[in-house]
Amino acid sequence: MALALEGIRIIDMAWLGPGPFCANMLGDLGADVIKVYEAHPERRGGPVMFLFDPAMQPGFRNCRTMGLNLKAEEGRSIFCDLAKNADVIMEGFRPGVVKRLGVDYDIIKKINPRIVYASLTGFGQDGPYRNLVGHDINYIGIGGLLGMTGPAGGAPVIPGSVIADFAAGGMSSAIGILAALMARERTGKGQFVDMSMTDAVVESTSMQISPYLLNGMVPRKGETMFTGHYPWYNIYETRDGKYLSIGALEPWFFANLCELLGCEQFVEHQFAEGEHREEIFKYFRETFLTKTRDEWFAILQQKDTCAAPIYDINELESDPQLIARRMIIEADHPTMGRVKQVGSMHKLSDSPVEIRNWSISFGQHTEEIMQELGYDKTNIDDLFKAEVIG
């Protein structure tokens, strides 16, 4: 059974944040992902090395790694050899870096006009912020999401996961790359994909931004329908000190919720403000404190109420839904034995995701990839000694 992206080769130079997330997603779907790093990052440590730290994660699945010195003429020549038969190149340097290295889109498309060349940056390839450094917290800040996160009247609260890098930027990058590959099927030509994490956050926050653009009303955190203004879309502490999420937006869900909580008198006051809203809040808070989180979850499943437990990370692996959907899986690892892993969100009926290989060390597949490019053993050994490859 063929994998969805079988036969697609991706050269990945986007080492952190959205790059690994995007590449992992495409690798799970069957692409041959080759991660190209500098020749010897282990000598200076730095952010690349933690990616192979077993205490953080067991390496990368469904990809290969090689070390390559792009500052050396021979290294650039090898990269061009890789690019000749590649479908996608991903890079995560600041704007202008790949041009200085001599491996930018304008150079590569002369070698391979079908290449899809994706640049993943914080702010994009143009604009006054193009050269600014940043991380997830900066992109969700300038994109409006951080300012909408947290309690009313309080300071912004950092989300529990990286939103710009993964949920917004990483997935958006995968979509952009796949769209360019589909366009290539019609035109025969590749193209440049300019992905900005900040752009992705802004579009992801459109539910809050669009009403302001239309009517000029500035939304405030904790004061909108989906940020905690109403009792029926909120978080409640339970008797055991844990928390439950309630999202009874539709009137019939709210009616069911009120019935199960024994407060049918509130049904007609779902969108009440002032004292009525505070009365419902008070009742809900006091009522949810009378039972444990899991007891309430069992009760609220009796009718459609849009309720779910709020888990700590260590609780995910035992949730029956996540197990059934294979979002927590076990896989054989070449050095760590049987390990638990986060599964793939993609469930394709005819092209199921599978773990084909692991990269567990830097430059693990350099020699193998060089042989595929046609380099002989003597040449490869010489390039290792010259530190062109690593």
pLDDT in tens, 214-247: 999 999 999 999 999 999 999 999 999 999 999 9
User: Domain holding 140: CATH number?
Assistant: 3.40.50.10540
| Active-site residue, 40 included | no
Q: Is 135 a catalytic residue?
A: yes
Tokens of 70: 């792009």
The amino acid at residue 332 is D
247 Cβ neighbours under 8 A, 6+ residues apart: 232, 233, 253, 306, 307, 308
Q: CA 197, CA 208: separation in Å to the nearest integer?
A: 18
Please report where in the chains the tokens 């950092």 appear, as a residue. Answer: 158
Q: Are residues 64 and 126 in the same domain?
A: yes
pLDDT at 226: 94
Which of 57, 4, 64, 65 minimizes the C-alpha distance to 333?
A: 57
In a domain, 390, yes or no: no
Domain boundary among 278, 294, 318: 318
Name the burial class of residue 235, with classes exposed (0-12), middle (13-18) and buried (19+) by CB atoms within 10 angstroms of its CB.
Answer: exposed
> Which residue is catalytic, options 40, 81, 135, 304?
135
In 3D space, the residue among 126, 261, 141, 157 whose CA is nearest the CA of residue 201 turns out to be 141
> Per the domain annotation, does 4 fall within a domain?
no
Distance from C-alpha of 345 to C-alpha of 253, rounded to nearest angstrom: 27
Catalytic residue among 32, 165, 199, 229: 165
Residue 212 one-letter amino acid: Y
**3-state class of 33 per DSSP?**
strand
Residue 88 falls within a domain, yes or no?
A: yes
The whole-number mean pLDDT for each consecutive block of 10 residues of the chain, a chain of 390 residues, reads 94 91 96 92 63 70 95 97 98 97 98 98 97 96 97 96 93 97 98 98 96 94 95 98 98 98 98 97 98 98 98 97 96 92 95 93 94 96 96
Number of domains in the chain: 2
CA torsion angle 245 248 249 251 (round to 10): -170
- Phi, psi at 35, each rounded to 5°: -90, 120
Q: Report the alpha-carbon angle 354-364-181, nearest 5.
A: 50
Domain that holds residue 252: 233-318
Residues 104 and 147 in one domain: yes
Long-range contacts: 72-78, Cβ < 8 Å, 24+?
72/386, 72/388, 74/383, 74/386, 74/388, 75/39, 75/388, 75/389, 76/101, 76/102, 76/103, 78/370, 78/373, 78/383, 78/388, 78/389
Residues 128 and 252 both lie in one domain: no
- Same structural domain, 21 and 154: yes
* CATH code for position 276: 3.30.1540.10
**Helices 197-204 and 206-215: crossing angle, nearest 10°?**
70
Which is nearest to 239 in space by CA: 291, 188, 286? 291
**Both 240 and 377 in a single domain?**
no
Assigned domain for 303 exists:
yes
> What CA–CA distances, in Å, run from 75 to 57, 117, 386?
29, 19, 10
Q: Provide the pLDDT for residue 48.
A: 63
Contact between 122 and 175 (Cβ < 8 Å): no
The answer to whether position 215 is within a domain reads: no
- Within a domain: residue 102? yes
CB 390 within 8 A of CB 40: yes
CA 239 to chain centre: 34
Same domain membership, residue 63 and residue 166: yes
What are 310's strand-pairing partners?
243
Opening angle at CA 331, ends 328 and 333, nearest 5: 135
* Cβ 201 vs Cβ 145: under 8 Å: yes
Shared domain for 147 and 284, answered yes or no, is no
Assess whether 302 and 356 both reside in one domain: no
pLDDT tens digits for range 261-292: 999 999 999 999 999 999 999 999 999 999 99
pLDDT at 145 (0 to 100): 96
Helices (H) and strands (E) in the chain, counts: 14, 13
- The answer to whether position 84 is within a domain reads yes
Q: Which of 296, 318, 340 is the last residue of a domain?
A: 318
Residues 39 and 183 in one domain: yes
Q: Tell me if 36 is assigned to some domain.
A: yes
Residues 20 and 152 grouped into a single domain: yes
Asked whether residue 125 falls in the same domain as residue 60, the answer is yes
Residues 104 and 64 in one domain: yes
The last residue of one of the domains, among 274, 294, 318, is: 318
Which residues, in sequence order, are bridge partners of residue 193? 118
Calculate what percentage of the chain has a pLDDT beyond 90.
Answer: 91
| CA–CA distance, 101 with 212 (Å, rounded to integer) | 43
